[in-house]
């Protein structure tokens, strides 16, 4: 059991922000990643569709005999919040670790959450933060243009399109009481430099992919499920559309050659 892989899924590239951190903190673990690039974005879809997609993604990962599944997706974690209950393996979304990190980080008690439309409409982060500390004031902002930007490789903070889209969503929080901002969609850390520059250095950014990876390490330790492997873990990548775009952006982000590393699968079969 311990040497089985960790399964991670997202609608596309976003979950790689969790994978990058998992590779850092759990280098000996095997990882199976599924990015639903054929059906991205999830964040503008209905609840029923998101629940259906998430169940298919999890079934695909279960076929790879994983020991744990991570929905490295703020949208799935917010909308398909019961997914874990139907799974035969340990499950984590991104909400709990991210909300906890935010509640701990804020000094002013005023925070903001950036997320997809589905995530923001669910108020999932706000509710969870306030269940940890009801005195924290939580602003919410949906940023529907961020995922298409990232999926199309627009992440450079000096790109005029990136800057103007980022400004449009976050400038309201600059020079305000907000001292902590949650990047509540796992795609957003790919825009971290641009978001950080737009907000200024007094605002702390909480990366949901990173917090989830750190939380996963803790969970696996507690459950005595860490791999015994001494060599570097094997990572497999699957996508539901042509791998080319995924491989080039993933390669840049993970800092490794991803050419011919992703395999296309038919997710509708699951
Ligand atoms: N990366 C995902 C999230 O964390 C999904 C974004 C999308 O597909 O809209 O919400």
Reported as a single tens digit per residue, the pLDDT across 210-230 is 999 999 999 999 999 999 999
pLDDT of residue 184: 96
Domain membership flag for residue 164:
yes
- Of 44-48, 147-151, 174-178, 253-257, give the lowest mean pLDDT range: 253-257
Domain stops at, among 208, 232, 257: 208
Positions annotated as catalytic residues are 73, 185
Say how many Å lie between the CA of residue 228 and the centre of ligand 1.
Answer: 32
Does the pLDDT value for residue 2 go beyond 90?
no
What average pLDDT score do residues 153-176 get?
A: 96
Say how many Å lie between the CA of residue 224 and the centre of ligand 1.
Answer: 30
Burial of 46 (0-12, 13-18, 19+ CB in 10 A): exposed
Say how many Å lie between the CA of residue 230 and the centre of ligand 1.
Answer: 33
Same domain, 243 and 184: no
Ligand 1: which residues within 6 Å by Cβ?
A: 10-11, 14, 40-43, 73-75, 116, 119, 147, 185-187
**CA distance readout (Å), 31 to 24, 25, 28, 65, 214:** 12, 13, 9, 11, 15
Widest CA span in the chain: 50
Give Rg (Cα) of the chain: 17
Of the pLDDT bands very low, low, confident and very high (cuts 50, 70, 90), residue 106 is very high
Give the residue ranges of DSSP H helices in the chain.
16-25, 47-62, 74-79, 95-105, 117-122, 124-132, 146-151, 160-170, 192-199, 208-222, 243-254
Same domain, 184 and 245: no
Residue 32: phi and psi, rounded to 5, are -115, 120
Q: What domain count does the chain have? A: 2
Peptide bond before 55: cis, by omega within 30 degrees of 0?
Answer: no
What average pLDDT score do residues 180-209 get?
A: 95
Name the token pair of 82. Answer: 């019961």
Domain stops at, among 167, 191, 208: 208
What average pLDDT score do residues 117-123 get?
A: 96
**8 A C-beta contact, residue 44 and residue 117:** yes
Domain membership flag for residue 154:
yes
Does the pLDDT value for residue 255 go beyond 90?
no
**8 A C-beta contact, residue 130 and residue 136:** yes
What average pLDDT score do residues 172-194 get?
A: 95
Same domain, 103 and 199: yes
Region of 64 please: left (phi>0), alpha (psi -120 to 50) or beta: alpha
Global pTM? 0.94
Domain stops at, among 208, 229, 259: 208
Please state, in angstroms and rounded to a whole number, the distance separating the CA atoms of residues 17 and 270: 25
The number of the ligand 1 atom at minimal distance from the alpha carbon of 40 is 8
The number of the ligand 1 atom at minimal distance from the alpha carbon of 45 is 9
**8 A C-beta contact, residue 261 and residue 253:** no
For residue 122, give its domain range.
96-208
Over the stretch 76-105, which tens digit does the pLDDT of each residue have?
999 998 999 999 999 999 999 999 999 999
Higher-confidence position of 245 and 173:
173
To test the pocket of ligand 1, the residue of 71, 73, 120 to mutate (highest count of ligand atoms within 8 Å of its CB) is: 73
Of the pLDDT bands very low, low, confident and very high (cuts 50, 70, 90), residue 114 is very high
Does the pLDDT value for residue 256 go beyond 90?
no
Say how many Å lie between the CA of residue 11 and the centre of ligand 1.
Answer: 6
Does the pLDDT value for residue 253 go beyond 90?
no
Does the pLDDT value for residue 169 go beyond 90?
yes
**Percent of the chain surpassing pLDDT 90:** 91
Domain membership flag for residue 1:
no
CATH number, domain of 230, equals 3.40.50.1860
Which residues make Cβ contacts (< 8 Å) with residue 260, sequence separation at least 6?
243, 247
């Amino acid at each position: 059991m311990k040497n089985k892989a960790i399964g991670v899924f997202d609608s596309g590239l976003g979950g790689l922000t969790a994978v990058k951190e998992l590779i850092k903190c759990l280098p000996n673990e095997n990882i199976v990643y599924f990015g639903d690039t054929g059906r991205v974005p999830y964040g503008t879809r209905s609840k029923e569709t998101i629940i259906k997609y998430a169940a298919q993604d999890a079934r695909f990962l279960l076929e790879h005999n994983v020991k744990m599944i991570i929905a490295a997706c703020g949208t799935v974690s917010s909308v398909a919040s019961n997914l874990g209950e139907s799974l035969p393996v340990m499950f984590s979304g991104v909400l709990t670790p991210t909300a906890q990190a935010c509640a701990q980080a804020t000094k002013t008690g005023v925070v903001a959450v950036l997320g997809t439309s589905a995530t923001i409409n669910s108020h999932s982060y706000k509710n969870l933060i306030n269940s940890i500390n009801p005195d924290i004031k939580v602003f919410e902002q949906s940023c529907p243009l961020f995922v298409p930007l990232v999926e199309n490789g627009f992440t450079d903070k000096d790109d005029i399109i990136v800057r103007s889209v980022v400004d449009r969503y976050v400038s309201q929080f600059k020079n305000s009481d907000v001292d902590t901002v949650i990047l509540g969609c796992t795609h957003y850390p790919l825009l971290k430099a641009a978001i950080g520059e737009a907000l200024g250095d007094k605002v702390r950014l909480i990366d949901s992919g990173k917090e989830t990876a750190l939380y996963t390490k803790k969970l696996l330790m507690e459950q005595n499920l860490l791999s015994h492997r001494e060599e570097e873990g094997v990572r497999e990548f699957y996508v539901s559309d042509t791998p080319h775009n995924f491989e080039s952006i993933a390669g840049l982000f993970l800092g490794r050659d991803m050419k011919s590393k992703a395999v296309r699968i038919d997710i509708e079969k699951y």
